[in-house]
Amino acid sequence: MFLQEPKDLTRHYSAASLLREGFNKQKGWAPAWRDAAPKAEYDAVIIGGGGHGLATAYYLAKEFGMTRIAVLEKGWIGGGNTGRNTTVIRSNYFFPESAAFYDFSLKLYEGLTRDLNYNIMFSQRGMWNIAHDRHGVEMLHRAVNAMLLNGVDAELHDGAEVKRRIPILSDAPRYPVMAGLLQKRGGTARHDAIAWGYARAADMRGVDIVQNCEVTGFDIVDGAVTGVRTTRGDIKTGKVALAVAGNTSVLAELAGFRLPIISYALQACVSEPVKPVLDTVLLSISHGVYISQSDKGELVIGSAIDLYPSYAQRGNLPVMEHTAAGVVDLFPRFSRMRFLRQWAGIVDVMHDSTPVVGLSPVKGLYLNCGWGTGGFKAIPGAGFCYAHTIAKNEPHPLTAPFSLKRFETGALIDEAAGAGIAH
């Protein structure tokens, strides 16, 4: 059933429904989404129940009226990178193509709680990139100029102002803080809530979300996809959309083509919870670390990718040591805090550090991949543009530059070199 504006009172979240359920001993809540079984045929099948797959399903239903859709997830929704990331949202990119797309995504984030009727705990607490040497300061100047020219908010501050605004920063780190680039609209959101909010909103529009269903092969006739094979049976469909992050090369190989992607483990960790000490997100490329504080009080700490190909979703000691050293240099008073958890996700890095959202060499098979270390912030924007691509069989103007063809034409968008963002 297609529900344009779902207002099912057992499922619509509001102050009134909270109050009502409070008096009702919380017995009236419906499950947030159905546990659907796979059907024999769909108009479109999305592989991967992370943020990207679920957002795509939501926008396909909401914007394009396609509701005979399934999202097939081999594990549980949000169990991939969407539930493993450090939740930083920003649009501080260098090239106009990236800036236009990521700022569009950030704008969607700004209205997402209301749009999904689900609290995604979006907190625009600002995002700092700090520099510790003259070269780094030059890079920040260049980045601020590019951002302002691209219509994205950006402020440049000297080291004293950075220290004034983040008093807990060390007075004398090994590398002095010489400047900071602040994007005030940057911040964080709750990662699980993105998966759950999109799942719930897509389900309310009739999308089947099928968990524990692994895609193991494709049916391809005369160069066009006609269905997928899964651990829960074969499914017929003329449109198949990949949204499987680090597993993209594996799926592409099953469909008979190769992609310029390398999969790496990216790690993160959280400390024990403490009272509020850090009200912003801070990244130091020189130290190879970034840090924020969650609403629970844990310090959420990430670092760069471990630069060898891997599918192992687990952390390791060398990266932890390097990360801890960077954090303690910047914030000496965190030196006696304990780590609570450490983990990894498998990120898919394209050779030019820019994603692919578009067509594949197989007709009816679409690609959303290559987000590397930065695809959480892209979820609403990419979901929207990918839905457009699938429904209309042509790229959305915002993601048209992110096509696979750029590796033939040479129109690469090298954000690693441009923004210094280590994907």
Ligand X SMILES: Cc1cc2nc3c(=O)[nH]c(=O)nc-3n(C[C@H](O)[C@H](O)[C@H](O)COP(=O)(O)OP(=O)(O)OC[C@H]3O[C@@H](n4cnc5c(N)ncnc54)[C@H](O)[C@@H]3O)c2cc1C
Count of CA atoms in the C-beta half-sphere (13 A) of 80: 29
Distance from chain centroid for Cα 158: 31
| Greatest alpha-carbon span in the chain | 66
Q: Based on CB atoms, which residue is closest to ligand X, 104 or 137?
A: 104
Q: How far is the CB of 419 from ligand X (least distance, A)?
A: 13
Q: How far apart are CA 106 and CA 151, in angstroms?
A: 13
Q: Based on CB atoms, which residue is closest to ligand X, 51 or 418?
A: 51
Q: Based on CB atoms, which residue is closest to ligand X, 85 or 150?
A: 85
Strand spans (E) along 272-364: 281-284, 289-293, 299-303, 306-309, 339-350, 356-359
Q: Count of H helices and E strands in the chain?
A: 12, 20
Q: Based on CB atoms, which residue is closest to ligand X, 130 or 137?
A: 130
Question: Does residue 41 contact residue 219 with C-beta atoms inside 8 Å?
Answer: no
Q: How far apart are CA 258 and CA 249, in angstroms?
A: 7
Count of CA atoms in the C-beta half-sphere (13 A) of 195: 21
Q: How far is the CB of 25 from ligand X (least distance, A)?
A: 34
Q: How far is the CB of 18 from ligand X (least distance, A)?
A: 29
Q: How far is the CB of 215 from ligand X (least distance, A)?
A: 4
Q: How far is the CB of 138 from ligand X (least distance, A)?
A: 25
* Residue 234: burial class (beta carbons within 10 Å; 0-12, 13-18, 19+): middle
Q: Based on CB atoms, which residue is closest to ligand X, 137 or 284?
A: 284
Q: Based on CB atoms, which residue is closest to ligand X, 209 or 328?
A: 209
Q: How far is the CB of 1 from ligand X (least distance, A)?
A: 26
Q: How far is the CB of 24 from ligand X (least distance, A)?
A: 34
* Residue 253: burial class (beta carbons within 10 Å; 0-12, 13-18, 19+): exposed
Q: How far apart are CA 240 and CA 102, in angstroms?
A: 25
Q: Based on CB atoms, which residue is closest to ligand X, 77 or 137?
A: 77
Q: Based on CB atoms, which residue is closest to ligand X, 74 or 287?
A: 74
Q: How far is the CB of 300 from ligand X (least distance, A)?
A: 8
Which residues are at the interface with ligand X (CB under 6 A)? 47-53, 72-75, 79-82, 84-88, 214-215, 243-245, 247, 251, 266-268, 302, 345, 347, 371, 373-377
DSSP-derived secondary structure letter, 41 = B
Sign of CA dihedral 86, 59, 257, 219: positive
Long-range contacts of 222-231 (CB under 8 A, 24+ apart): 223/362, 223/363, 224/362, 224/363, 224/364, 225/255, 225/362, 225/363, 225/364, 225/365, 226/364, 228/45, 228/47, 228/72, 230/38, 230/72, 231/74
Q: How far apart are CA 175 and CA 328, in angstroms?
A: 12
Q: Based on CB atoms, which residue is closest to ligand X, 137 or 246?
A: 246
Name 319's bridge partners: none
| Alpha-carbon torsion angle 65, 396, 353, 270, nearest 10 | -30
Q: How far is the CB of 53 from ligand X (least distance, A)?
A: 6
Q: How far is the CB of 186 from ligand X (least distance, A)?
A: 10
Q: Based on CB atoms, which residue is closest to ligand X, 77 or 177?
A: 77
Count of CA atoms in the C-beta half-sphere (13 A) of 421: 24
Q: Based on CB atoms, which residue is closest to ligand X, 177 or 378?
A: 378
Q: How far is the CB of 297 from ligand X (least distance, A)?
A: 18
